[in-house]
Amino acid sequence: MKKLNILIVAFVLFQIGSVNAQYTVLLNFDSANGAVPEGQLTFVGNMLYGMTTGNPPSGTGNIFSIDTNGNSAKNRFTFNGTDGQDPFNTLILSGNKLYGMVNNGGANGYGCIFSIDTNGSGFKDLFDFNSTNGAYPFGQLTLLGKKLYGMTSGIFPLDGNIFSIDTDGTGYKDIFDFNGTNGAAPYGSLTFFGNKFYGMTYGGGVNQYGNIFSIDTSGLGFKDLFDFNGTDGSFTYGSLILIGSKLYGTTESGGVNNDGTVFVIDTNGTGFRDIFVFNGTNGSGPIGTLAYSKGELFGVTDQGTLNIYGNIYSLDTDGTGYKDLHDFNDIAGEYPARGVVLSGNTLYGMTSGGGTDSLGVVFKLNYVAAGMNDLNTNSSSINLFPNPSTGQFTLSLSNVSEKCNVEVYNVLGERVEREKVKGEREEIDLSGQPNGIYLYRVITENGGLVGEGKVVIEK
């Protein structure tokens, strides 16, 4: 039986668009097919490829594929430790080959770079890190011509590096070393634009909260573009995306609430601005890389929100129009991995926990932005009256037999009221809330929209 949540979202200064969203679990990891994914998915035609960090009998991770409808799931390769283990990373595609990195294992135990055919054959350990030339790579490789570029997070006393290597595994070069002052422990990928790479570090920099940098592809011309100070964000756990001449990213913590931020900065290092600050109720700990389509940014948090297990969100590139698209729960996945990938109106991603075996899931989320005056009730009838009122409303439900909750959020996404609905009618007291327009939604546990409308408080 599906549980319904009725969300009444307040706004005062700007309009919040409504969202029709349908969340679907495509695959439950069960140990045999993988466990605890930490990276993003990669499109190969209508197939999705990804990696998990645990998979018996070795328990060291695997590469898998599944189609976008949740069919044809297949374990393509299982790591054994010697050829790598614990891939916290994301694959890239070139021709019929996938390239990737694993954080641990390999010949020296510090991770390696590999290639593999999309059919799972032809695995090749291209390069093994040895701590001196790098250790514990994170993120995704960046392909330019026949060269791969990436970063390692390092091992004390080293703070990570940037490297290049030919796609056949030859010509490895350590092109830049982080030293703490110029950044430390990059956990993301490099973004290429105008003969330069742009990236972030998790720590180090002037304030030890991480920084944003640019560097030439040769490894020369390093520039510390911006140093986080905690108040404007701290500790990045993802990569930058480029939209026009602006870079967008997230910080896992910091900001005025210490729950993380979404920010924008020009490629020359000017114009830094936090465009959205999380507060726990609307999400906490944004991780991974943002996705972008038609003026909207899409991302995930791994904490906070209704069920404390993170959420999928969207917002406009100016920071307005925040939408909580889906709140994760332990049954259908919890703690999303590093971001979502987008195809049309569908977002695809993974969680590192939850699901039927508590080992994570592959999911998709179909969403359609709609005008807030629209009402989509499907077969159910939902109404709040009188409208307007001074704050005392009656909620009327029909053709809805499932258990319901009434939840009230303000413009910042802060929950200010929660009640259980015990019958077809429930009195809702919002008299303690300020004047304004309130949007109410009826949403199933898996994110499907049952109905929505708006009410007005006038005192």
Q: Tell me: the pLDDT tens digits for 304-329?
A: 887 889 999 999 999 999 999 999 98
Alpha-carbon gap, residue 201 to 240, rounded angstroms: 11
Question: For the residues 150-173, what does the mean pLDDT come to?
Answer: 96
Do residues 286 and 251 touch, judged by C-beta distance below 8 A? Answer: yes
| Complete edge-to-edge strand list for the sheet that includes strand 92-94 | 92-94, 97-102, 112-117, 124-128
At the second CATH level, the architecture of 381-457 is: Sandwich (2.60)
Alpha-carbon gap, residue 219 to 19, rounded angstroms: 44
Predicted TM-score (pTM) of this structure: 0.78
Structure token pair of residue 146: 């026949």
Where is pLDDT greater, at 455 or 201? 201
Confidence at residue 6, expressed as pLDDT on a 0 to 100 scale? 42
Question: For the residues 13-24, what does the mean pLDDT come to?
Answer: 54
What average pLDDT does the chain have? Answer: 86
Q: Where in the chain is the domain with CATH 2.60.40?
A: 381-457
Confidence at residue 398, expressed as pLDDT on a 0 to 100 scale? 67
Confidence at residue 291, expressed as pLDDT on a 0 to 100 scale? 94
Q: Where in the chain is the domain with CATH 2.120.10.60?
A: 26-370
CA–CA distances in Å: residue 257 to residues 243, 276, 281, 417, 434: 27, 11, 11, 20, 23
Q: List CB contacts of 176: < 8 A, sequence separation 6 or more.
A: 161, 162, 215, 219, 222
Mind listing the pLDDT tens digit for each residue in 231-246? Answer: 999 999 999 999 998 9
Alpha-carbon gap, residue 276 to 191, rounded angstroms: 22
Q: What is the CATH number of domain 26-370?
A: 2.120.10.60
Where is pLDDT greater, at 412 or 283? 283
* pLDDT > 70: percent of the chain: 82
Question: For the residues 160-183, what does the mean pLDDT come to?
Answer: 98
Where is pLDDT greater, at 360 or 378? 360
